[in-house]
Structure 1
């Protein structure tokens, strides 16, 4: 294997390693878009305070 073969294989490897995750991401998101999504409803009782922290002091 000469230098040119090594450079071509390296270039091919770089292209595959960069493009494969993107292609895989597109394929997996297409599969998820067909499933019905359930909306999340926020709870009216939710609060940003942690109960009992100030009472312990």
Structure 2
């Protein structure tokens, strides 16, 4: 399985979300901490612990 993580640096933190679930944001002091936090969120979603989680769809458009 491959997850796409979108993130940015905000001062001392890395803040991001899984591309398909932008409503569920997390942060970490390092990229690895952020990645671990987001994998945990994804795991909770897959287990049904976040019942209202609906993935966003990706549409690629050539311009």
TM over 0.5, shorter chain: no
Query: Relative contact order: is structure 1 or structure 2 higher (C-alpha 8 Å, sep ≥ 6)?
Result: 2
Q: Which has the higher strand share?
A: 2
The structure with the largest alpha-carbon Rg is: 1
With structure 1 as the length reference, what TM-score do the two structures score?
0.34
